[in-house]
A and B are shown apart, each in its own frame.
Chain A
Amino acid sequence: MYRYDEFDAAFVRERTAQFSDQVNRRLAGEINEDQFRPLRLMNGLYLQLHAYMLRIAVPYGTLASRQLRMLAHIARKYDRGYGHFTTRQNIQFNWPKLRDIPEILADLASVEMHAIQTSGNCIRNITTDQFAGAAADEIVDPRPVAEILRQWSSLHPEFSYLPRKFKIAMSGGPHDRAAIRFHDIGLQAKVDDRGIVGWEVWVGGGLGRTPMIAKRINEYVPNEHLLAYLESILRVYNRYGRRDNKYKARIKILVHETGIDKIRDEVAEEFRAIANGVLTLPQAEVDRIGAYFAAPEFERVNATVDVAKERIAEPAYGEWLDRNLHPHRQPGYASVTISLKPIGGAPGDATAEQMEAVADLAERYSFDELRVTHEQNLVLPHVRVSDLREVYDALVEARLATGNAGLITDMITCPGMDFCALATARSIPIAQEISRKFSAPERQKEIGDLKIKISGCINACGHHHVGHIGILGLEKKGVENYQITIGGNATEDASVGDTLGHGFAAEEVPDAIERLIDTYIARRETPDEPFIAAFKRLGEAPFKEALYGNG
Chain B
Amino acid sequence: MEILTGNELMSGATVYLDRDGNWVEDLQRARVFLKEETEVRDAAIAATKKTLRINSLEIEAVTLRDGLILPDRIRERIRADGPTAPRFDRQHLDRDGHVSI
Residues of chain A within 8 A (CB-CB) of B90 are: 50
Task: Please name the 7 residue pairs, one residue from A and one from B, whose CB atoms are nearest each other, closest first.
Answer: A51-B12, A418-B83, A51-B91, A52-B12, A429-B85, A428-B85, A346-B86
Q: Restricting to A412-433, which residues have a CB under 8 Å from any CB of B?
A: 417-419, 421, 423-426, 428-429, 432
On whether the beta carbons of A80 and B88 are closer than 8 Å, the reply is yes
Q: Which residue of A lies closest to B91 (CB)?
A: A51
User: Contacts A29-B52, A417-B74, A417-B78 known; A98 to B85 CB distance under 8 Å?
Assistant: no
Q: Say yes or no: is A478 at the interface (Cβ < 8 Å to chain B).
A: yes
Known: A27-B10, A426-B78, A426-B85. 14 other contacts (CB 8 A): A27-B9, A33-B52, A47-B12, A49-B78, A50-B79, A50-B82, A50-B83, A52-B12, A98-B9, A98-B12, A426-B84, A428-B86, A478-B72, A480-B74
How far does the Cβ of A456 sit from chain B's closest Cβ, in whole Å? 10
Bound-state CA distance A157–B74 (Å) is 42
Bound-state CA distance A17–B78 (Å) is 35
Q: B residues touching A (Cβ–Cβ < 8 Å)?
A: 7, 9-14, 52, 55-56, 72-75, 78-79, 82-86, 88, 90-91, 94
Q: Say yes or no: is A97 at the interface (Cβ < 8 Å to chain B).
A: yes
User: Contacts A26-B9, A95-B91, A429-B84 known; A49 to B73 CB distance under 8 Å?
Assistant: no
Q: Say yes or no: is A349 at the interface (Cβ < 8 Å to chain B).
A: yes
How far does the Cβ of B75 sit from chain A's closest Cβ, in whole Å? 6
Interface size on A, residues (CB 8 A): 34
On whether the beta carbons of B86 and A49 are closer than 8 Å, the reply is no
How far does the Cβ of A532 sit from chain B's closest Cβ, in whole Å? 28
Residues of chain B within 8 A (CB-CB) of A95 are: 88, 91
On whether the beta carbons of A97 and B83 are closer than 8 Å, the reply is no
Q: Which residue of A lies closest to B87 (CB)?
A: A418
How far does the Cβ of B29 sit from chain A's closest Cβ, in whole Å? 18
Q: Say yes or no: is A99 at the interface (Cβ < 8 Å to chain B).
A: yes
Q: Give me 25 A-to-B residue pairs in the complex whose CB atoms sit less than 8 angstroms apart, sorted by A's number.
A: A26-B9, A29-B52, A32-B52, A33-B52, A33-B55, A47-B55, A50-B12, A50-B14, A50-B83, A50-B90, A50-B91, A51-B13, A52-B12, A95-B88, A97-B12, A418-B83, A418-B84, A418-B85, A421-B56, A425-B74, A428-B86, A475-B73, A478-B73, A479-B74, A480-B74
How far does the Cβ of B35 sit from chain A's closest Cβ, in whole Å? 20
Residues of chain A within 8 A (CB-CB) of B52 are: 29, 32-33
How far does the Cβ of A433 sit from chain B's closest Cβ, in whole Å? 9
How far does the Cβ of A228 sit from chain B's closest Cβ, in whole Å? 42
Q: Restricting to A79-135, which residues have a CB under 8 Å from any CB of B?
A: 80, 95, 97-99
How far does the Cβ of B92 sit from chain A's closest Cβ, in whole Å? 10
Bound-state CA distance A32–B12 (Å) is 15
Q: Which residue of A lies closest to B83 (CB)?
A: A418
Q: Which residue of A lies closest to B53 (CB)?
A: A29
Bound-state CA distance A377–B17 (Å) is 41
How far does the Cβ of B1 sit from chain A's closest Cβ, in whole Å? 15
Kindly name the residue among A52, A421, A429 whose own CB sees the greatest number of chain B CB atoms within 10 A.
Answer: A52
Bound-state CA distance A345–B13 (Å) is 25
How far does the Cβ of A25 sit from chain B's closest Cβ, in whole Å? 11
On whether the beta carbons of B11 and A97 are closer than 8 Å, the reply is yes
Task: Give A343-370 as 1s and 0s: 1 = Cβ < 8 Å from B's Cβ atoms.
Answer: 0011001000000000000000000000
Residues of chain B within 8 A (CB-CB) of A425 are: 74
How far does the Cβ of B27 sit from chain A's closest Cβ, in whole Å? 13
Bound-state CA distance A51–B78 (Å) is 13
Residues of chain B within 8 A (CB-CB) of A49 are: 14, 75, 78-79
Residues of chain A within 8 A (CB-CB) of B55 are: 33, 47
Bound-state CA distance A349–B86 (Å) is 10
Residues of chain B within 8 A (CB-CB) of A50 are: 12-14, 79, 82-83, 88, 90-91
Task: Give A26-52 as 1s and 0s: 1 = Cβ < 8 Å from B's Cβ atoms.
Answer: 110100110000000000000111111
